[in-house]
Amino acid sequence: MINSDIIRGNVDAIILKLLMEQDMYGYELANVIKNRTKDKFTIKEATLYSAVTRLEARELISSYIGEKTRGGKRRYYRITSFGKAYYAEIIKDWHLLNEIMVAILGSDIG
């Protein structure tokens, strides 16, 4: 299990990336993160839904009420064009951070 301090600043990037792949509802996002990281990173739903609310307030994602496969309704989230642009910025920063860490930590992380 990863130290949550390390990954805290990257929750936005994780959510945006997953929503670039497909629209998802809140609990689905939590499940995909859990499964894809093979339980190495389990985000608390309280943190995840708060981050989702914050991203929606910043218009990086938007929500709509969609149909469930077996009836009923769900609140789905989709990434906006602002969100895609913001994600591209995050990736640029990520590459820069990666270069910096490799330059400093060198073979220790290689």
Partner 1 sequence: MNKIKKFVTNLLKDYFSEQDKKELISIMTTSLEEKVEDLVEQGTPVDKAIEQSINEFGSTDDVLEAFPKKDIDYQQKIVKTRKHQFWYSILGYTLIVGLALFFNLTFIAVFRSVYWFIVVAIGMVFWPGTMFFRYREVKK
Contacts with partner 1, residue ranges (CB under 8 A) = 4, 8, 11, 25-27, 30, 44-54, 56-57, 68, 70, 72, 74-75
* Structural contact between residues 22 and 86, judged by C-beta atoms closer than 8 angstroms: no
Nearer to partner 1, 22 or 98 (CB): 22
Nearer to partner 1, 38 or 70 (CB): 70
For the chain, the 3-state helix, strand and coil shares in percent, each to the nearest 5, are: 60, 15, 25
* Structural contact between residues 24 and 77, judged by C-beta atoms closer than 8 angstroms: yes
CB of 50 to partner 1, least distance (A): 3
Task: Give all strands of the β-sheet with 61-67 in edge-to-edge order.
Answer: 24-25, 73-79, 61-67
Nearer to partner 1, 3 or 107 (CB): 3
Nearer to partner 1, 29 or 87 (CB): 29
